[in-house]
Amino acid sequence: MVSVRMLPDFTPRIPTTRKAHLPPGFAYPIGAGAVSDVFASLPQFEKFSLSFSSVTPLLRPPLRVPGFPVLRLTFSNYPAYVPRNVSPDNLARTFGGERWHVEILPTHVDRRPVVQQLLLDKGIALLRDWIAGPDAPPGDQQGRRVVEVWYFYDTEVIKLHVVPNAPPPGETAEIGN
């Protein structure tokens, strides 16, 4: 009789596009696998990309609030196009279309265990639930939306923050009369 080896369940991974180098004393709180595992059931999964970013107020002190973002999701949907300088041989290099990009942001090394546990217990799920919920943009909506998961070190709480939309280029927001 031939032995059949059972293969472990395999969760597909969100493609990682970049990992920024961090200064000493900083670390990323989670890996791409943690996000992929929680997002795998989302219908948009194939449209996700992921990067490890150093674009955070944490690396530009002083902090104005007792917290900082640890995950950032950017949704964008613009008409797809091929830039003029792309050869016909490289038509896979298109721009635009529906995209969902996750950025994992750094934390202080000494806070990493706490932030990691909060993200695994609640933070990644908060982002997933927003994507699956009624406030997320439908795939046919054009524009850009940013949602962040913040860690507040004074209370050791994680919260979801929807970044207000900026006015389109060339327009200015009206300020109270």
Model pLDDT for residues 15-66, shown as the tens digit of each residue: 999 999 999 999 999 999 999 999 999 999 999 999 999 999 888 878 788 9
pLDDT of res. 4: 46
> What is the distance between the terminal CA atoms of the chain, rounded to a whole angstrom?
84
Gap between the Cα atoms of 102 and 40, Å rounded: 13
| Peptide linkage before 79 cis (omega within 30 of 0) | no
Gap between the Cα atoms of 70 and 153, Å rounded: 12
**Residue whose structure tokens are 């265990």:** 113
pLDDT of res. 2: 46
Mean pLDDT for the chain overall = 85
Check residues 66 and 91 and name the one with the higher pLDDT: 66
Phi-psi region of 143 (alpha: psi -120 to 50; beta: other; left: phi over 0): left
What is the token pair recorded at 10? 């395999």
Residues 106 and 28: beta-carbon distance below 8 Å: yes
DSSP assignments along 31-100, one per residue: -HHHHHHHHTTSTTGGGEEEEE---SGGGSSPPSSSEEEEEEEEEEEEEEE--TTS-GGGTT--EEEEEE
Does residue 147 have a pLDDT over 50? yes
Residues 164 and 145: beta-carbon distance below 8 Å: no
Query: How far, CA to CA in Å, does 173 sit from each of 30, 135, 137, 163?
Result: 37, 22, 22, 15
- Greatest alpha-carbon span in the chain: 84
Query: pTM higher than 0.75 for the full model?
Result: yes
